[in-house]
Structure formats: C-alpha cells, structure tokens
Amino acid sequence: MKKENQAFKAVPANRLATVQEYYFSRKRKEVDAMNAQGLDVISLAIGSPDLPPSKEMRNVMCTETMKDDAHGYQPYTGIPELRGAFAAWYKKWYRVELDPSTEIQPLIGSKEGILHVTLAFVNPGDKVLVPNPGYPTYTSLSKLLGAKVVYYDLLEENNWQPDFDKLEKKNLSGVKLMWTNYPNMPTGANASYELYEKLVDFARRHNIVLVNDNPYSFILNHHPLSILEVPGAKKCCIEFNSMSKAHNMPGWRVGMLASNAEFVKWILKVKSNIDSGMFRPLQLAAAKALESGAEWYEGNNETYSRRRKLAGEIMNALHCTYDEKQVGLFLWGRIPDKYENVEELTEKVLHEAHVFITPGIIFGSNGARYVRLSLCCKEHLLAEALKRIKEMK
C-alpha cells in the first residue's frame, strides 16, 4: 500500500465558533500563573462555597461507601430516597407539593440540566429568552445547540426585574424557552411572589416554557420562594435547585429539577442517553443533608453576614455603590464613572492589589458598569484583600 506523506488535519465543529472558553476557565490560568510567581492572588471571583458540608451527611457518605454492594450503576431517575428527600424539602421550605416518583429529576449539577432541558424543548433555529445580565451558560449552551438567543433586559432602575411591557412588545414567535434566576445571579435581586405570578402568566399566555434557576434562595434570604408556589405554574414552568450553595456541596454535583410529569419524562429521555445515575452513597448523603433544620442555614448565614460586611467595605474602598437589600452569595456594585470600562478597574485590582474580582460585563452588556464580589472567601482573606485595595495607588 502506498503511504502518502500528507499531514493530518482536523477542524472543530462550526458550533465552537459561537462560543468562547468559559471566562473563569480562561482567567484561572492567568491567576494560577501569577500564584506560581509567588504573587498570592486572593480570589473573590468564583462562587464555590468554602464552608464544609454537614458532618452527618459526610458520615453517611463514608459509611455507605464501605458497603460492598454500593458501587453499581444507579437509576437514571435517581434513587427513591433522594427523590423523596427533595419532595419533603420542597414541601417544608417552599410549601410546594411534588410527586417524588414523577415530578422530580435529580441532576449531576444544574449546569447539565441546562443542556438537557434545552435539548428536550428547543430545535435548532428556535428562540430562547435569556436575561441580560445573567448566567453565561444560558447563552453559551443555547448557541452551541443552534438556538437563537433573544436577550431581555434586567436593569437597576427596575430592581433587576423584567420589564413586562417591553417583553410583550418583542417578537415572541418561535420562542420556546425563557430563563429566569432569582435570587438573581449576579445582581443579588430577590423575587417576590407577585413577580413569580407575572412570570407564570407571561409564560402561559405566550406558550413558553419558563425555567427558573433557584440555587441561592437560602443564602442571606429569610423567606425562600419557589416559582412552583404559584397556582398552575407546574403546567408551564420548570424549576432548578442545587445543593452546591445552600449545603456547601459544589464539588459533589447534586442538583434537581421539578415540573409536571410530562416535562420530566421528556427531559429524562435526553438525560438517559447522555449520562448515568449518580453514585448511590452520594445520593444517600445528599438525602441526609436535605433533612437539615433551620439552624443549618442560619449557621451558614451568620458566616456570610460577617463576610458580606467586609465585602461592603471593599466596595466602598473601590468607590462602588451597591444595594444593601441584595441576597445570595455575591455582592454586586456599580463602578465609578472615572473608569472607561469595568475591566480597567478589575485588571488594576488584579495586577496592583493581587485580588481577583469579576467584571460584570461577562454576564451581559447590562453588567458593563458593575463588578461582582464572591462571599466564598474566609474573613481573614477578605480583610487582607481590603487592606491591599486600600493601599493601591
């Protein structure tokens, strides 16, 4: 056989041209390089809780892992113990009745749920309503799957809530999904029951499946809400929830979605062709964590309250303004007018103070004049970050 001396050449799929590498993936390389030079960068960027999960749930994980029969494949639907625990959790804290066998789907983190829901409901060329500012994955996964992203504005003057008059005037033909996220990331704005009523009414009238991403409702928030509390919401809404934030389990990758049985069945058809069930001891440990009482959430929030005070002092040192009523895991502030753009400030802070903060522009054009600080940082490091920033020229 004749061997041709031709170089091998591969090209990526066209869809990769629609997205960039995730901001924190790219920026972490730069921060790692700075740390390798001994610069000791303090990160106030990523929302990865640094507090530990409960001892009770970790004990369950250890005990169950030692069992010889615990290591096989698990159901795609999640084990009954975990689905039942999620149902009981929703009833206790959100006043929502869910059938654990048909209306709950455990997820390997909410991020995979965004993929599964989009695949289940959106054809290439269909439209998806995405908040601006909002979680970047709503946009990137929609684009990767060939959907047309239609942004809707969230603005400070409207308390970061949708302007329904403007929404009604949009061309909504072909819109299949609408993403919402309250308590909002990145802005910290909270939802009211009245807002959820408006969102459900809008989705129902326009035949849009509304997905509410709800992982922050226990963080510095005294009254957790679910969009599924609204009568009839289950017919047109899906809600995501996560154990990453409220239960200090970001690396465990345990989330869930809740909706009507038909929607859950459609999503399972996608999910079962993409991944397998979670490790059984992990699911049992998560179920244990969901039994936590009010003292668990209050204990976390005592820590976050102290950190929030220091984050506020950092915002003041940067001459940023912010809303004291924010809830959730971050603090969102408007930068001074003297900066031409937000990255002028965030790069100055990174390279002069060696403190990594997030520019709001990565969440959309309406975040272009804002920065975000994470509360997932120990108090002595927040205090050191404050000291460094005050010493900047």
Among residues 263, 202, 195, the alpha carbon closest in space to that of 234 is found at 263
Distance separating alpha carbons of residues 15 and 100, to the nearest angstrom:
37
Look at residue 1 in the predicted model and tell me its pLDDT. 57
Distance separating alpha carbons of residues 289 and 52, to the nearest angstrom:
12
Residues in CB range of 229: below 8 A, 6 or more apart: 94, 95, 96, 193, 196
Convert the pLDDT of each residue in 246-286 to its tens digit.
999 999 999 999 999 999 999 999 999 998 889 999 999 99
Q: How far is CA 38 from CA 27, 35, 128, in A?
A: 17, 5, 44
- CATH assignment of 71-289, given 3.40.640.10, 3.90.1150.10, 3.40.190.10, 1.10.260.40? 3.40.640.10
DSSP conformation letters of 283-312: HHHHHHHTT--HHHHHHHHHHHHHHHHHHH
Which residues are bridge partners to 132 per DSSP? 153
Convert the pLDDT of each residue in 100-157 to its tens digit.
999 999 999 888 999 999 999 999 999 999 999 999 999 999 999 999 999 999 999 9
Q: 169: which DSSP letter? A: H
Which residues of the chain carry a pLDDT beneath 70?
1-4
Which residue, chain included where needed, has tokens 């993936």?
A: 25
Look at residue 109 in the predicted model and tell me its pLDDT. 87
Which residue, chain included where needed, has tokens 């990174």?
A: 350
8 A C-beta contact, residue 78 and residue 287: no
* Beta-sheet pairing, 42-43 with 237-242: unpaired
Look at residue 4 in the predicted model and tell me its pLDDT. 66
- For domain 14-52+295-390, the CATH architecture is Alpha-Beta Complex (3.90)
Look at residue 305 in the predicted model and tell me its pLDDT. 96
Look at residue 127 in the predicted model and tell me its pLDDT. 97
Among residues 300, 190, 182, 183, the alpha carbon closest in space to that of 247 is found at 300
- Domain-wise residue ranges, the chain: 14-52+295-390, 71-289
